[in-house]
């Protein structure tokens, strides 16, 4: 296992972060092999063996636990639920498999053009690393499509992008816990079959 082992907090290549898939048999797949630096295909991740998924780099380990959907951001754990009619529906922390993993990067290019010789130089960079999952669940006879993605921008505050779709109208609140303690409650009514989306900055 790499995630959870503080020995592994650096990318083996110039890229700031690489994705890591940990498996239940103590094996793993990394975006770039830690020894050979050879790249691996994201589509080759075996979701049936997955126990955690995230990124390492810059001295950090950022991942989520496949068994409960809870995000581990260095030493902090973030869990999410939805409260309606005085009943709390946990979106994380349940005995589901959150193994429909997601990973993507946002990049940009800067061009310096030399008009005299009609040539130029391009500088490419990755501006944001993101990972997370999506999950369909039934909670108290309510069908919910839930997606949560952690995004780590190069220059801005990291945030969780939380997306929820319900098959029923719900007039509730989104509850976010950090290390088991409620840190935010957000009024978040849902209209049936319409997605509700919020970007929540970590605190």
Percentage of residues in the chain with pLDDT exceeding 90? 80
Task: With respect to residue 139, please indicate whether it lies within any of the assigned structural domains.
Answer: yes
Task: With respect to residue 109, please indicate whether it lies within any of the assigned structural domains.
Answer: yes
Contact assessment for residue 109 and residue 126, using Cβ atoms and an 8 Å cutoff: no
- Hey, which residues does 1 pair with through a beta bridge? none
Give 120's contacts (C-beta < 8 A, 6+ positions apart).
111, 112, 113, 114
What confidence score (pLDDT) does residue 38 get?
Answer: 97
Task: With respect to residue 86, please indicate whether it lies within any of the assigned structural domains.
Answer: yes
Instruction: Check pLDDT > 60 for residue 113.
Output: no
Task: With respect to residue 2, please indicate whether it lies within any of the assigned structural domains.
Answer: no
pLDDT digits (tens, 9 = 90+) for 15-70: 999 999 999 999 999 999 999 999 999 999 999 999 999 999 999 999 999 999 99
Percentage of residues in the chain with pLDDT exceeding 70? 92
Task: With respect to residue 40, please indicate whether it lies within any of the assigned structural domains.
Answer: yes
Burial class (CB in 10 A: 0-12, 13-18, 19+), 94: middle
Helices (H), 60-196: none
Task: With respect to residue 9, please indicate whether it lies within any of the assigned structural domains.
Answer: no
What confidence score (pLDDT) does residue 147 get?
Answer: 98
- Count of the separate structural domains present in the chain: 1
Contact assessment for residue 61 and residue 9, using Cβ atoms and an 8 Å cutoff: yes
Task: With respect to residue 4, please indicate whether it lies within any of the assigned structural domains.
Answer: no
Parent domain of 58: 18-201
Kindly state the tokens that stand for 173: 């609140």
pLDDT digits (tens, 9 = 90+) for 82-107: 999 889 999 999 888 999 999 999 87
Over the chain, what is the mean pLDDT? 92
Task: With respect to residue 142, please indicate whether it lies within any of the assigned structural domains.
Answer: yes
């Amino acid at each position: 296992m790499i995630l959870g082992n503080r020995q592994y907090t650096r990318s083996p290549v110039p890229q700031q972060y690489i994705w890591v898939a940990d498996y239940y048999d103590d094996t793993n797949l990394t975006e770039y092999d830690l020894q050979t630096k050879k790249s691996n295909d994201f589509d080759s991740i075996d979701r049936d063996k997955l126990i955690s998924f995230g990124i390492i780099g810059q001295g950090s380990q950022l991942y989520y636990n496949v068994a409960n959907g809870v995000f581990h951001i260095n030493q902090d754990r973030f869990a999410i639920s939805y409260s309606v009619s005085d009943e709390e529906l946990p979106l994380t922390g349940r005995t589901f498999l959150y193994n429909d993993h997601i990973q993507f990067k946002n990049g940009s290019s800067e061009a310096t053009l030399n008009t005299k010789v009609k040539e130029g130089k391009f500088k490419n960079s990755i501006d944001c690393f993101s990972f997370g999952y999506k999950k369909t669940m039934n909670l108290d006879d309510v069908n919910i499509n839930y997606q949560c993605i952690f995004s780590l921008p190069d220059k801005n505050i990291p945030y969780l992008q939380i997306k929820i779709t319900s098959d029923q109208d719900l007039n509730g609140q989104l509850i976010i816990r950090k290390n088991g303690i409620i840190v935010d409650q957000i009024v978040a009514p849902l209209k049936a079959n319409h997605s509700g989306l919020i970007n929540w900055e970590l605190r």
